[in-house]
Amino acid sequence: MPIDKRHKNRNWQLPTGANGAIESWQYVSIAVLMDLRDELRAGRSLQTQILAELQSINRTLKCHETQAIPRILRRISANTAKPRKPKGGAGAT
């Protein structure tokens, strides 16, 4: 049975002897290694996506318009605040 490295989802049936025992563990190790390779590739893909998202967030946070938001909100708050009533009022003795 030749080792087929091109088909990742191949059914890796192991050659068995007359008594049903596995003749060689070589195919088991190859199948496991191929599964590990696929999982590592999937993990790298996820890491790449996370890194891209983090870079996007960093670009947004470094933007001068984003950094100006607190200053703009303070100015809006100051311009829309109602004047406070004096303490004690006119009727205080």
Q: What is the residue extent of each domain of the chain? A: 26-79
How far apart are the C-alpha atoms of 76 and 36, rounded to whole Å?
56
pTM of the model: 0.42
Per-residue pLDDT of the chain (93 residues; tens, 9 = 90+): 555 555 556 665 666 778 877 777 776 777 677 778 878 888 888 888 889 999 999 888 888 888 899 999 999 998 888 887 888 766 555
Closest CA to 80 of 91, 72, 92, 69: 72
